[in-house]
Chain A
Amino acid sequence: MAMLDVTNLGISFGGLRAVDSFELHIKKGELYGLIGPNGAGKTTVFNMLTGVYKPTDGTIKLDDKNITGMKTTQINQEGIARTFQNIRLFKELSVLDNVKVGLHNGYQYSTITGIFRLPKYRKTEKLMNEKAMELLAVFDLDKEANLLASNLPYGKQRKLEIARALATNPKLLLLDEPAAGMNPNETKELMDTIQLIRDKFDMTILLIEHDMKLVSGICEKLTVLNFGQVLAQGETSEVLNNPEVIKAYLGE
């Protein structure tokens, strides 16, 4: 049984068919890659999965629950968290607070409790701090907890974004080009981190990536998107040797 079932997904912007009859089935615990040339529609797929765009047709099911057309906020509460291609952190908040915003729905107390600092406030904030520090430690960010997020170096900002997404306690984690702008060393480190997340949190991960070393290194299955359509789908090694895929990437 698949955890994420996407069938016949499509979206049109005016006359442009950005994504057409897109299919994706991800089982629990899989590390799945979505690749394709620039402009193929990968991020559009992400945006549909997370409710930023409403699909024109098709259905998205998470654990057999239809989440097509739900709002971003609801979809996150259903269990999909994401990171962004261009990093979107809460820049004026501390690293710790960025993760605590991610914990927003997991740890609740009312605004009144917060303003009057009732006992529940202290208790919950303490739990939040502990949980957030725990997450930051996984990403080796615990020493920077009190820095402003915008003062972190690039690689760490990417990591913080992943930590924040994980704080929402998702079933499925979507990573949009996590290695973009990273040097080979940082990419290597990132690959280890992604493996670690999957093992430690028992997470299902779908990632978009251009770095083939990363893709072939950690993804078990791949879907290749070209001009909004699925070009190939299956085990990583098979897909990467598919002549159609090579043609789409390298030309004739």
Chain B
Amino acid sequence: MKKLNINKDYLITYGMVVAFYIIMQILQGTGNLSSLFKGLLVPLCVYTIMAVSLNLTVGILGELSLGHAGFMCVGAFSSAFFSMCMKDVISSSLLRFVIAIIISAIVAAFFGIIIGIPVLRLKGDYLAIVTLAFGEIIKNVINILYVGKDGNGLHISTKDSISLGLAEDGKVIINGAQGITGTPNDSTFTIGIILLLVTLFIVLNFMNSRSGRAVMAIRDNRIAAESVGINISKYKLMAFAISASLAGVAGALYAHNLSTLNAMPKNFGYNMSIMILVYVVLGGIGNIRGSIIAATVLTVLPELLRGFSDYRMLIYAIVLIAMMLFNASPKAVEWKEKHSIKRMIASKKQAKEVE
């Protein structure tokens, strides 16, 4: 009985994403989409994937992460680095991109585990502090990192590109603060939507499996979870690593959408992490579909409001406040429950049964 409801709920979420994709494709095909909006489609996928993955940490695991952009940064640079190295070796751009995505997921998960092992053993908000630091550190490390490649292999320096001592055929791949230039633009809206669906598939199925239940049990009551024999550290680490690796995938998508990738406060800094957190909080902590909607609305909104020029950020703030009120006030919650899609489907079904 309950299983059925959950699956239907998931189908609505998947359906929503697919419907959005189809609408956008139609708009694009008929030429009704402004070039500005077209440019927004891939970042939209990046931010929704980020929001869903952060919701796994914040909503399902119940820990606060303030450095999610750090994992995105790691994923972006590792995948872009791979693509740059393999540009001439692997000719199929799709194959190269798929491998790059897998690498970004693995590298980000690795960092997630390294951070998680010491921190997730502690009770309290330590994860927030450590991830906050991680996000800033990783950005600064990449800004001083110089990596080049020549016939002899890879050269790494933290000083400047000259001290790499590259041979004549050599090429600087990561050029310190200038980052990686010339990343192949492999990201498309279609790939973005597929990655979003994969992310949803992983997160939603995880939530509804034995491991996911264990994670949610830990969130709800750590002591009770221990008392029924659940390995706390293992499941916390697992959820956090999955969350980090999905953020890494978002990073890969982000990196292959730009020809120049550099670690700026704007794209991988603290503000970015907070922005993703805003999506999660506004969409409802633990509510995956809400995260997607909030991320979409808040990404598109500033662009739609461009016409208001100076008043743009003012209206943005008002919308944020309105969304908060709409999510929390009892009257609004009542209204939402009355008009929810789930309910509409259920009542339709009931009506059918009556017939």
Chain A interface residues toward B at CB < 8 A: 50, 52, 71-73, 76-77, 81-82, 84, 88-94, 96-98, 100-102, 104-105, 107-109, 111, 113-117, 121, 124-125, 128, 145-146, 164-165, 167-168
A73/B213 contact (C-beta < 8 A), A88-B221, A94-B2 known: no
- B30 touches A (CB below 8 Å): no
Q: Which of A52, A102, A121, A167 contacts B209 (CB 8 A)?
A: A121
- Bound complex: CA A81 to CA B227 (Å): 7
- CB proximity of A49 to chain B, nearest CB, Å: 11
Among A50, A94, A101, A168, the most chain B Cβ lie within 10 Å of the Cβ of A101
- Bound complex: CA A92 to CA B209 (Å): 16
For the complex, would chain B's binding face be called helix, strand, loop or mixed by DSSP majority? helix
Determine whether the beta carbon of A97 is less than 8 Å from that of B221. no
- B123 touches A (CB below 8 Å): no
Q: Which of B1, B220, B227, B229 contacts A93 (CB 8 A)?
A: B220
Q: List chain B residues, Cβ under 8 A from A52.
A: 223
Determine whether the beta carbon of A101 is less than 8 Å from that of B213. yes
Please report which residues of chain B, range 192-234, place their CB below 8 angstroms from some CB of chain A when the two chains form the complex. 201-202, 205-206, 208-214, 216-217, 219-221, 223-232
- Given contacts A52-B223, A114-B206, could you give 6 more A-B pairs where the C-beta distance is less than 8 Å? A73-B232, A76-B227, A111-B209, A114-B210, A114-B211, A146-B1
Determine whether the beta carbon of B230 is less than 8 Å from that of A93. no
Among B202, B213, B238, the most chain A Cβ lie within 10 Å of the Cβ of B213
Q: Which residue of A lies closest to B218 (CB)?
A: A90
- CB proximity of A105 to chain B, nearest CB, Å: 5
Determine whether the beta carbon of B220 is less than 8 Å from that of A104. no
Q: List chain B residues, Cβ under 8 A from A92.
A: 216, 219-220, 286
- Bound complex: CA A109 to CA B213 (Å): 13
Q: List chain A residues, Cβ under 8 A from B229.
A: 73, 76-77, 104-105, 168
Q: List chain B residues, Cβ under 8 A from A116.
A: 205
Interface band, chain B:
20 to 34
- Bound complex: CA A113 to CA B206 (Å): 10
Determine whether the beta carbon of B210 is less than 8 Å from that of A82. no
Determine whether the beta carbon of B2 is less than 8 Å from that of A145. yes
Q: Which of A72, A91, A114, A125 contacts B221 (CB 8 A)?
A: A91
Contact with A along B2-33 (1 / 0, CB 8 A): 10000000000000000000000000000000
- Bound complex: CA A192 to CA B220 (Å): 30
Q: Which residue of B lies closest to A82 (CB)?
A: B227
Determine whether the beta carbon of B230 is less than 8 Å from that of A104. yes
Contact with A along B296-309 (1 / 0, CB 8 A): 00000000000000
- Bound complex: CA A109 to CA B208 (Å): 13
- CB proximity of A118 to chain B, nearest CB, Å: 11
Question: What are 5 residue pairs bridging A and B, where the CB atoms are less than 8 Å apart in the complex?
Answer: A73-B229, A88-B224, A97-B213, A101-B228, A168-B228
Chain B interface residues toward A at CB < 8 A: 1-2, 201-202, 205-206, 208-214, 216-217, 219-221, 223-232, 238, 286
Determine whether the beta carbon of B220 is less than 8 Å from that of A72. no
- Bound complex: CA A216 to CA B279 (Å): 57
Determine whether the beta carbon of B228 is less than 8 Å from that of A111. no
Determine whether the beta carbon of B213 is less than 8 Å from that of A115. no
- Bound complex: CA A90 to CA B1 (Å): 21
Determine whether the beta carbon of B224 is less than 8 Å from that of A111. no
Q: List chain B residues, Cβ under 8 A from A117.
A: 205
- CB proximity of B65 to chain A, nearest CB, Å: 19
- CB proximity of A21 to chain B, nearest CB, Å: 26
Nearest 5 pairs between A and B by C-beta?
Answer: A114-B209, A76-B229, A88-B224, A90-B220, A72-B226
- Bound complex: CA A56 to CA B219 (Å): 30
- Bound complex: CA A2 to CA B249 (Å): 56
Determine whether the beta carbon of A101 is less than 8 Å from that of B214. yes
Determine whether the beta carbon of A90 is less than 8 Å from that of B221. yes
Determine whether the beta carbon of A90 is less than 8 Å from that of B212. no
A111/B206 contact (C-beta < 8 A), A101-B228, A168-B228 known: yes
Determine whether the beta carbon of A115 is less than 8 Å from that of B206. yes
- Bound complex: CA A97 to CA B214 (Å): 10
- Bound complex: CA A102 to CA B210 (Å): 11
Q: List chain B residues, Cβ under 8 A from A111.
A: 206, 209-211, 238
Q: List chain A residues, Cβ under 8 A from B206.
A: 111, 114-115
Determine whether the beta carbon of A104 is less than 8 Å from that of B228. yes
A101/B2 contact (C-beta < 8 A), A91-B221, A92-B220, A121-B209 known: no
- CB proximity of A244 to chain B, nearest CB, Å: 33
Determine whether the beta carbon of A101 is less than 8 Å from that of B230. yes
- Bound complex: CA A73 to CA B2 (Å): 29
- Bound complex: CA A111 to CA B212 (Å): 8
Determine whether the beta carbon of B2 is less than 8 Å from that of A102. no
Determine whether the beta carbon of A90 is less than 8 Å from that of B223. no
- CB proximity of B114 to chain A, nearest CB, Å: 20
- Bound complex: CA A121 to CA B212 (Å): 13
- Bound complex: CA A35 to CA B180 (Å): 70
Q: Which residue of A lies closest to B222 (CB)?
A: A88
Q: Which residue of A lies closest to B286 (CB)?
A: A92
- CB proximity of A53 to chain B, nearest CB, Å: 12
- CB proximity of A30 to chain B, nearest CB, Å: 22
Among A114, A125, A146, the most chain B Cβ lie within 10 Å of the Cβ of A114
- CB proximity of A193 to chain B, nearest CB, Å: 19
Q: List chain B residues, Cβ under 8 A from A164.
A: 224, 228
Q: Which residue of A lies closest to B223 (CB)?
A: A88
- Bound complex: CA A249 to CA B165 (Å): 85
